Amino acid sequence: MYNDKKVVFSGVQPSGNLTIGNYLGAIKNFSAFSEDYHCFYCVVDMHAITVRQVPAELRRRTYETLALYMACGLDPQKNTLFVQSHVPAHAELGWILDCYTMFGELSRMTQFKDKSQKNADNINAGLFTYPSLMAADILLYQTEMVPVGSDQRQHLELARDIATRFNGIYGDTFVIPEGYTPKDGARIMSLAEPTKKMSKSDANENAVVRILDDKDAIIRKFKRAVTDSDTEIRAGADKAGITNLLTIYSCFTGKTVEEAEREFAGFGYGDFKLAVGEACADALAPVRAEFNRLIADKAYLETVMAEGAEAAYRCARRTMSKVRRKLGFTELKR
């Protein structure tokens, strides 16, 4: 609990320009919690450096991600919006939790295996211990609920295991968090390889639709989306491309996949793809307009960052003092 409310925490890495996967799987759902929970939404820049980043781009995308949070409806008066590296307790608890996370557990993480393959020349220790830092992000705020896409479920399970292990040794210290994964949109797939997750760091621009892409780019990418040699517009395990497009259409229009199947019965793939592209572009147009307004006001973004970091620190330091005491760290009398 924080300020008499249960806590929600989630984060997004500024590791690329955000995609409709990040939007539909995570950010779009964040504002639903703002009234009933105390929400901490973080730009997790420390996670981003597990893969090499160009410093100027990382800095720019950190501002942009914060602006996107707000453009997607997160009011900084109702949500604590902040940047991970501005609250050093994340790194501190991350190290502590490294010591309560097993090598075997980290070795089983599919994201580590995937990213090691993609970054074979930079398989660094941070990439390996990423889940302990993510556990620290969550546990620091005594989080009850973590809205994430399904790719992060495995990390969340590990965070629960780490918290349970720590509590088992030292007595109740951390709330055990629950995951919240949307019914639809939890795993948006690449438009170029629809059996692979859409990822913001994908080098193939045709594979990803970015939240800030303009209408022409969005429609062009959907027109090029890989489908199949069949002609039927229906969801199914044998139709990854079409299923993905139906899911995207359903998420942006609020219609069910079954309704979308009925709506497009008899359509050719070309017309269907155009309709999906238009639905996506229309839904994102207000987000893009609001983003453009916010990103022009750097001073305001810096105020939001500073106030968010201060509010996050106030909550994090309570957990840290409890953790330090339980571990047997000595206290400095000032």
- Residues forming the active site: 115, 197, 200
- Tell me the closest approach of the beta carbon of residue 225 to ligand AQP, in angstroms: 14
- Tell me the closest approach of the beta carbon of residue 2 to ligand AQP, in angstroms: 21
Query: Is 24 or 175 the residue whose CB approaches ligand AQP more closely?
Result: 24
- Tell me the closest approach of the beta carbon of residue 152 to ligand AQP, in angstroms: 4
- Tell me the closest approach of the beta carbon of residue 137 to ligand AQP, in angstroms: 10
Interface residues toward ligand AQP, by CB under 6 A:
12-13, 15-16, 19, 21-22, 24-26, 148-149, 151-152, 186-188, 197-201
Query: Is 82 or 166 the residue whose CB approaches ligand AQP more closely?
Result: 82
Query: Is 25 or 194 the residue whose CB approaches ligand AQP more closely?
Result: 25
Kindly report the three-state secondary structure assignment for every residue of the chain: CECCEEEEEEEECCCCCCEHHHHHHHHHHHHHHCCCEEEEEEECHHHHCCCCCCHHHHHHHHHHHHHHHHHCCCCCCCEEEEEHHHCCHHHHHHHHHHCCCCHHHHHCCHHHHHHHHHCCCCCCHHHHHHHHHHHHHHHCCCCCEEECCHHHHHHHHHHHHHHHHHHHHHCCCCCCCEEECCCCCCCCECCCCCCCECCCCCCCHHHCCECCCCHHHHHHHHHCCCCCCCCCCCCCCCCHHHHHHHHHHHHHHCCCHHHHHHHCCCCCHHHHHHHHHHHHHHHHHHHHHHHHHHHCCHHHHHHHHHHHHHHHHHHHHHHHHHHHHHHCCCCCCC
Query: Is 245 or 323 the residue whose CB approaches ligand AQP more closely?
Result: 245
Query: Is 242 or 323 the residue whose CB approaches ligand AQP more closely?
Result: 242
- Tell me the closest approach of the beta carbon of residue 198 to ligand AQP, in angstroms: 4
Query: Is 184 or 263 the residue whose CB approaches ligand AQP more closely?
Result: 184
Q: Which residue is nearest to ligand AQP (CB)?
A: 25
Full strand arrangement of the beta sheet holding 6-12:
79-83, 37-43, 6-12, 145-147, 178-180
- Tell me the closest approach of the beta carbon of residue 322 to ligand AQP, in angstroms: 27
